Amino acid sequence: MLIVVLLQPLAEISGAIFDADDRASLFAAITSGCATLGFDRFVLSCHKADAFQLTLDATMTNLSPDFLRDYDHFHWADVDAIAARVLSGEQAFAWDSSTPRSTDASKKSFIDFLHSCGVSSGVTIPILHEGGTVSMLSLISSADRAFDERTVLFLKILANTTVAKAEMLGLCPAVSKDQAISAHALTEIQVEILKWIAEGKSNLDISTIASLNERSVRYHVSEILKKLGVATRMQAAAIYKANAHLFLRANKMNCA
């Protein structure tokens, strides 16, 4: 029953996010989705390198200006346990503002700061990238709530959709808008064939590996070149090698 209850709103919210055609409509879709799921605020950060960037240079957020001003003024990024978990490579996790409990005075003060701002609990989904950067969608609740593993798992779908859309709208300077769009235009089998092309495999090799006839492989190769806007296999391979993480994540989303 929980799966059904979660799937319907998540499908609708993900659809609204993917239909967004500019920054304002994406912000509105995320804000509306948060409210539907019972969250009050969010932070979306794409391809960031440190705790400071995750919050103070977020791609978009509806945290208040006062919160961000105080977070900056008191250097809370230095003791932000949630940001530290994101940067450590941890998987998606639920949290509340009283954990981890610490005897460190600065960390205690940060927890008091969160409480004073009505930050009580939430779910944070990190997405690691090559090169040491990380993207993150953090959904924040003003109430003390418990989130089970299935809820966190389903919210990972929302996070991947949101980050992908931000990339496709050109909101992430580290990622080419055109390449992000291209990555999501390829089908699952085309991503697989592109991977083999990048490894130097011929059409005949790929037909054997992927259990396809050679004519089908030729068709998919033609479609790959068209969708990537290139003329040769070598150019397609170069795009894949430079953006493998985009293609692989798009493939996972298409399979979900």
* Chain segment 159-188, per-residue pLDDT in tens: 988 998 999 899 998 888 877 887 778 888
Closest CA to 5 of 148, 162, 151, 156: 151
Topology of 178-255 in CATH? Answer: Arc Repressor Mutant, subunit A (1.10.10)
Domains 2-171 and 178-255 belong to one CATH topology = no
Task: Say if residues 39 and 145 touch (Cβ distance below 8 Å).
Answer: no
The pLDDT of residue 218 is 95
Domain boundaries along the sequence of the chain: 2-171, 178-255
Partnered with residue 61 across adjacent β-strands are 43
Task: Say if residues 97 and 54 touch (Cβ distance below 8 Å).
Answer: no
Closest CA to 136 of 172, 185, 178: 172
* Chain segment 25-71, per-residue pLDDT in tens: 999 999 999 999 999 999 999 999 999 999 999 999 999 999 999 99
* Chain segment 8-18, per-residue pLDDT in tens: 888 899 889 98
* Chain segment 184-238, per-residue pLDDT in tens: 788 889 999 999 999 999 999 999 999 999 999 999 999 999 988 889 999 899 8
- In CATH, the number for domain 2-171 is 3.30.450.80
Residue 256: pLDDT band with limits 50, 70, 90: low
